[in-house]
């Protein structure tokens, strides 16, 4: 990966992990989805760095190497963590790219810290999510995160077993070194009990916040 390195940024409760591609002060902050990590941006970030740019991408609280960070979670908490990253890396004004839940975090970041955000790029995320007719917020959260929750409870004998799980996923029609690095990075624990680094508590609290929280609605 072109000019790739990792660093940490102090936030309430511990250290947030940040991946950086390219040289100099990053101009772009990238924010991943609800069960992702900063390596979700690896291929795009590598191309951006190869073209002379620099990009920083966070492991959100409760994910990746930030998986052990405690709550509270929610869009405002993630936005404050992202603002801390901007401060630590000297990013006075940044383009913020958000994928899926990262898009919601990006909107709240722009709302709470408008002077720090030059532009926002939304990738499959952004508008508030309505509660479906006839469903309570708790029921909709359970419906939404059901498959993710099942995966987070799974245990894998080794890295190859986790790779096989993902190879069968219909999204991955072509297996690449970047995908393999991404799924390997998510694993923690000891064989034969490897598991995802993602906190189910974080996923549940964030999903609830998307439906009922004030920060996204305000943004």
User: Could you tell me which residues come within 8 angstroms of residue 128 by beta carbon, excluding any fewer than 6 positions away?
Assistant: 210, 216, 217
Whether residue 190 is predicted with pLDDT greater than 90 in this model: the reply is yes
pLDDT at 68: 95
CA gap 125, 181 in Å, rounded: 24
Average of per-residue pLDDT values in the chain: 95
- The two tokens of residue 124 are 């499959």
- Strands in the chain per DSSP E: 5-11, 14-21, 28-31, 55-58, 94-99, 117-123, 187-188, 195-196
Phi first, then psi, for residue 18 (nearest 5°) are: -135, 130
pLDDT in tens, 87-96: 999 999 999 9
pLDDT at 126: 65
pLDDT at 1: 53
Q: Tell me which of 9-13, 127-131, 169-173 is least confident.
A: 127-131
Q: Which of 186, 207, 215 is nearest to 101 (CA)?
A: 207
User: β-strand 117-123 against 94-99: which pairing, if any?
Assistant: parallel
CA gap 91, 20 in Å, rounded: 12
CB atoms within 10 A of CB 14: 12
Helix 75-89, helix 200-212: angle, nearest 10: 110
Q: Which of 210, 65, 49 is nearest to 138 (CA)?
A: 210
Share of the chain above pLDDT 90, in %: 84
For residue 151, give the H/E element and its range.
helix 137-152
pLDDT in tens, 56-76: 999 999 999 999 999 999 999
């Amino acid at each position: 990966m072109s000019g790739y390195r990792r660093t940490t940024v102090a936030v309430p409760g511990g250290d947030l992990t940040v991946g950086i591609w390219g040289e100099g002060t990053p101009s772009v902050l990238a924010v991943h989805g609800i069960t992702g990590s900063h390596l979700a941006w690896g291929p795009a970030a590598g191309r951006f760095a190869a073209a002379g740019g620099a990009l920083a991408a966070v492991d959100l609280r409760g994910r990746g190497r930030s998986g052990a960070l405690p709550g509270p979670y929610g869009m405002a908490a993630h936005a404050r963590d992202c603002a801390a990253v901007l401060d630590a890396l000297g990013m006075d004004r940044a383009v913020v790219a958000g994928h899926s839940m990262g898009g919601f975090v990006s909107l709240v970041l722009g709302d709470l810290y408008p002077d720090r955000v030059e532009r926002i790029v939304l990738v499959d995320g952004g508008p508030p999510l309505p509660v479906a007719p006839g469903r309570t917020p708790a029921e909709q959260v359970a419906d939404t995160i059901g498959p993710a929750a099942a995966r987070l409870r799974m245990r894998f004998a080794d890295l190859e077993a986790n790779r096989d799980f993902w190879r069968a996923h219909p999204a991955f029609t072509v297996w690449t070194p970047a995908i393999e690095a991404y799924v390997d990075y998510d694993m923690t624990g000891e064989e034969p009990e490897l598991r995802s680094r993602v906190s189910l508590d974080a996923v549940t609290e964030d999903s609830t916040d998307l439906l009922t929280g004030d920060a996204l609605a305000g943004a």
